[in-house]
Amino acid sequence: MVKIYLILAFTFAITITVDAQNTAALKKDTVKQLKPVTVRAYLSEQPVLSVPASISVISQQQLNLQPDNSFISVLNSTPGVRAEERSPGSYRLSIRGSLLRSPFGVRDVKVYYDEIPLTDAGGNTYLNAIDFNSIHNMEVLKGPDGSLFGANSGGVVLLSPVNHHADSNFVSAGLNGGSYGLVHENTAMQQRSGNYQLNLNQAYESYGGYRQNSYMQRHYIQAVNSWNYNQRDQLRLLGFYSDLSYETPGGLTLSQYQADPTQARLSTKTIPGSIVQRAGIYQTMLFGGLVNEYHFNDHLRNVLSVFGTYVDFKNPFITDYENRYEGTFGFRTYFELTGNDRKNYRWNTNLGVEWQQTDADINNYGNKKGVRDTAQTLDRINTNQHFFFARYVADIYRKLHIEAALSLNFYDYKFLNVYPNDETAYTDRNFTPQLMPRIALTYQLTNDFIWRASVSRGYSTPTTSEIRPTDHSINPNLSAEYGWNYETGFRLRNKDESMYLDASVFLYKLQNAIVPRFNADETTYYINAGGTNQPGMEIYFTDWIIRQNNSGFIRGLQFNESLTFDRFTFSSNYHDATSNYAGNQLTGVPEQVIVTSFQIKFPQFIYLYLEHNYTARIPLNDANTAYAPHYNLLAAKAGWQHRLSRKSNIEIYAGANNLLNEKYSLGDDLNAVGGRYYNAAPLRNYYVGFNVIF
């Protein structure tokens, strides 16, 4: 570990030295101006430098450098974010330790697709439904931010399905293939005609997987149709259809993992294995909505979105066969009033509401080698979540930026057991409305150096999958978790924005944490286990050491560093039925993650991207008696871009992941029965592909 820190310090020293040596030369060059980084997360576009929140922007350029078979690699290059893939297609996403609550899926993180919540009223998010190439920008808000986005205690992710900088007609296509049977193709089209713009995306991906019983396949279609019916007013119709299926190999014990990490979970005397039961997920999703932005005048505008989602979910599992049919509908709207632009004082205010209803039929049957058998339990759960939000922003002397925001959150659900109890009346569970305030400010010490601080309250209600988990029992006594987050940090850039530094420290004290527990038959249930203390530090640094050099072997050199340090522990009241875990390290969360990358540009539009990821050891259970060892991942991607004509380009690329051939688990099963923690990730693997645009 000491060696890693020494290498890191040495790298920073070289970076600063080389940057200083090149500054004078770069000023003499005629270079293309870098686009300033802006964010849209806080309802209107603004420079990221002045945003009083811990926010990371993943641009189209960053997405292009990463392997496009999943979001895992690019998300893990962001400080404070941990994405895992237990098997191909099986995503888990954690922001600042929220993985404790997610044995599978995405929970405690609110995700939006354009202006529409992808997270349903029941708290579940099918992020794995979306194809990588259909997203052109991502914004990650770290820590609780419920003032504008409703109940969450982990963070918010915003996905943009349209490249706002692409303003011409085009048709594009891409194809790549690689190790373990990877095949991924995608096509896209943008057509502009007068005030109309149509964007279409199509993709197909299949992957054999490193382990037995881990085949994945996804069909994906996406459409966004925009109409600018006035100079500043726009109506957007957007949606996607996703048909995803993937096999689930199941967790291995340490001895099984060491003997043969590629094997699927084996059968025992009492429980059949994954292959015998044909364990897997079959998930079909239809998602759509309408977004209208209207300006009443220069000072008042409104954004309104209405949306609906339908999910057909099947899961033949080790112990049973689950069918879920989920329908979601809702709306989100807000007004923005902007004051007159005065010399020393500017302000704007927002007022809005978001409302969602998710109706779910959750049915469990026996699993007879992948075939649905007799009914075990049939339930209906209808969940309603809505909140009102308000925000006031003031800029004083163009130096002090103050934000005060507040949301009032309502949550309730009702449930009915259709079989075996044959109930006819729903049972209601109403939660007390909760306020989620947020106060934040930035102060511009210089034009390029800004300090920020914030205080916010996190609040997260139990999800449908936690209220009605895999043990088939409905738990109306499960309460929401909540806590306060305190944070400060700064951002620094140079004059031409080729260098950028973002650093923050925070303390989040979570109470009433929702965590999974396991029965002897390995079915899951959830409890409120107590509290956690979550102090941490995150640093992101990027610099074009060589911005643009029209001669020489290296034409451009960018250095990136992402650092995550934390000391997340259980507080004194954290427990289960038999043990107290006060002071133990938070399960599933590494204490250090260091991601270093270089982008190098050569003559003839040849590029090379190198990335190293160090992840510290990870506790696998609350007792901290088992750990997954630390690992080092090295990835590389090289490509050649060639202009076919004035408006047509082709790119050919090849890459490799896990070049050091590390044996590691990406997506451990936490607190697993029998020590079945390990889901082995692929060893060294390769891919090659091309993209063409006309």
Q: Quote the CA–CA distance of 83 and 150 in Å, as a whole number.
A: 22
Q: Quote the CA–CA distance of 315 and 85 in Å, as a whole number.
A: 17
Q: Quote the CA–CA distance of 690 and 633 in Å, as a whole number.
A: 24
Three-state DSSP class for 40?
coil
Query: Which helix or strand (DSSP H or E) is residue 254 part of?
Result: helix 254-259
Residue 119 · residue 163 · CB < 8 Å: no
Question: Residue 25: what pLDDT?
Answer: 39
Higher pLDDT, 484 or 573: 484
- The residues, ordered by sequence, that sit 6+ positions from 139 with a Cβ below 8 Å of its Cβ are 39, 40, 41, 55, 56, 57, 58, 157, 158, 160
361 pLDDT exceeds 90? yes
Residue 154's pLDDT band (cuts 50, 70, 90): confident
584 pLDDT exceeds 90? yes
Q: Is residue 436 part of a domain?
A: yes
Q: Quote the CA–CA distance of 415 and 425 in Å, as a whole number.
A: 9
4 pLDDT exceeds 60? no
198 pLDDT exceeds 70? yes
Q: Quote the CA–CA distance of 272 and 605 in Å, as a whole number.
A: 54
Q: Quote the CA–CA distance of 628 and 169 in Å, as a whole number.
A: 49
Residue 641's pLDDT band (cuts 50, 70, 90): very high
Q: Is residue 16 part of a domain?
A: no
Q: Quote the CA–CA distance of 287 and 238 in Å, as a whole number.
A: 8
576 pLDDT exceeds 90? no
Q: Is residue 630 part of a domain?
A: yes
Q: Is residue 192 part of a domain?
A: yes
Question: Residue 63: what pLDDT?
Answer: 93
Least confident among 25-39, 128-142, 403-417, 513-527:
25-39
* Residue 319 DSSP label: S
432 pLDDT exceeds 90? yes
- Helix, strand, coil share (%) of the chain residues, nearest 5: 10, 55, 35
Q: What is the DSSP string of 77-134?
A: TSTTEEEEESSTT-EEEEETTGGGG-SSBB-SEEEEETTEESS-TTS-B-GGGS-GGG
Question: Residue 34: what pLDDT?
Answer: 60
* H helix count then E strand count, the chain: 7, 37
Question: Residue 21: what pLDDT?
Answer: 40
How many structural domains are present in the chain?
Answer: 1
**CB neighbourhood size of 35 (10 A):** 10
Three-state DSSP class for 658?
coil
Q: Quote the CA–CA distance of 73 and 613 in Å, as a whole number.
A: 10
- Among 150, 123, 95, which residue's Cα sits nearest to residue 462? 123
Question: Residue 10: what pLDDT?
Answer: 38
Q: Quote the CA–CA distance of 57 and 41 in Å, as a whole number.
A: 10
* Residue 263 DSSP label: P
Buried b (16+ CB within 10 A) or exposed e, 92-118: bbbbbbbbbbbbbbbbbbbbbbbbbbb
Q: Quote the CA–CA distance of 205 and 186 in Å, as a whole number.
A: 9
CA separation (Å) from 96 to 99, 463, 529, 537, 563? 8, 19, 18, 10, 13
Question: Residue 656: what pLDDT?
Answer: 97
At 626, list the tokens.
């088992």
Q: Quote the CA–CA distance of 536 and 506 in Å, as a whole number.
A: 5
- Among 672, 630, 689, 614, which residue's Cα sits nearest to residue 133? 689
pLDDT, tens only, 28-51: 333 344 667 888 888 888 888 888
Residue 636 burial (C-beta neighbours within 10 Å; 0-12, 13-18, 19+): middle
pLDDT, tens only, 321-332: 999 999 999 999
Residue 391's pLDDT band (cuts 50, 70, 90): very high
Residue at token pair 């099984």:
256
Q: Is residue 5 part of a domain?
A: no
- Among 653, 628, 635, 690, which residue's Cα sits nearest to residue 252? 628
Q: Quote the CA–CA distance of 188 and 168 in Å, as a whole number.
A: 13
- The residues, ordered by sequence, that sit 6+ positions from 353 with a Cβ below 8 Å of its Cβ are 332, 333, 334, 386, 387, 388, 389
Query: Which helix or strand (DSSP H or E) is residue 389 part of?
Result: strand 371-396
CA separation (Å) from 355 to 358, 390, 634? 10, 15, 44
Residue at token pair 């400080």:
79
100 pLDDT exceeds 80? no
- Among 55, 118, 59, which residue's Cα sits nearest to residue 81? 55
Give the β-pairing of 170-178 and 182-193: antiparallel
189 pLDDT exceeds 70? yes
pLDDT (mean) for 89-99: 87
**CB neighbourhood size of 384 (10 A):** 18
Question: Residue 24: what pLDDT?
Answer: 38
11 pLDDT exceeds 90? no
CATH number at residue 107: 2.40.170.20
Residue 95 · residue 458 · CB < 8 Å: no
615 pLDDT exceeds 50? yes
Handedness of CA 547, 551, 552, 553 (dihedral sign): positive
At 224, list the tokens.
């966004």
Give the β-pairing of 155-160 and 109-113: parallel
Residue at token pair 């290059």:
77
Q: Is residue 24 part of a domain?
A: no
Residue 505's pLDDT band (cuts 50, 70, 90): very high
Give the HSE-up count for residue 565: Cα atoms under 13 Å, Cβ half-sphere: 9
Residue 265 · residue 250 · CB < 8 Å: yes
Q: Could you tell me what percent of the chain has a pLDDT over 90?
A: 75
Q: Is residue 2 part of a domain?
A: no
Q: Quote the CA–CA distance of 185 and 205 in Å, as a whole number.
A: 6
Q: Is residue 15 part of a domain?
A: no
Q: Where in the sequence is the domain holding 336, given as residue range(s)?
A: 31-693
Q: The pTM is what? A: 0.92
Question: Residue 165: what pLDDT?
Answer: 66
15 pLDDT exceeds 50? no
Amino acid letter, 140: V
Residue 16's pLDDT band (cuts 50, 70, 90): very low
- Among 346, 342, 360, 460, which residue's Cα sits nearest to residue 97? 460
